[in-house]
Amino acid sequence: SDCWYTPQAATTADFAPGSRLHWFMSGGLNLQVEHHLFPTVDHWHLPALRSIVEHTCTKYGLPLYTFDGYLCGLRSHIRHLSCEPSDVAQRAGTSGAGIGGNDAAATATIMSGDVGAAVA
């Protein structure tokens, strides 16, 4: 897919996105998906973007990876490092056919800044 946002969401993961403690201790880095989608937005605003990103990904069938905490994410990352490259590409949906879903419409919704359209 030519969409810039789709691989950002497909190759990053949030860790304990609902935890204010994780957010505070990491300086907002537990919200990696939102950080990669909106790299210039101050970390203070990332929790508010989380619900918009979650809704938009669900609406358009895009992947959104979340782990309950850092240990779950670390275990997943270690498993990821032990996989063959073809297995990783297949799980990430990057086998050349794209990730699927309506990523062009999702990109238009996110980039337009129309929060109402993203949540509607």
Q: Provide the pLDDT for residue 9.
A: 79
* Both tokens assigned to 81: 């490092």
Q: Provide the pLDDT for residue 75.
A: 84
119 has a pLDDT exceeding 50 = no
* pTM (2 d.p.): 0.62
Q: Provide the pLDDT for residue 81.
A: 81
Q: pLDDT tens for residues 34-91?
A: 988 998 998 889 899 999 999 988 898 888 888 888 788 778 878 878 876 655 555 5
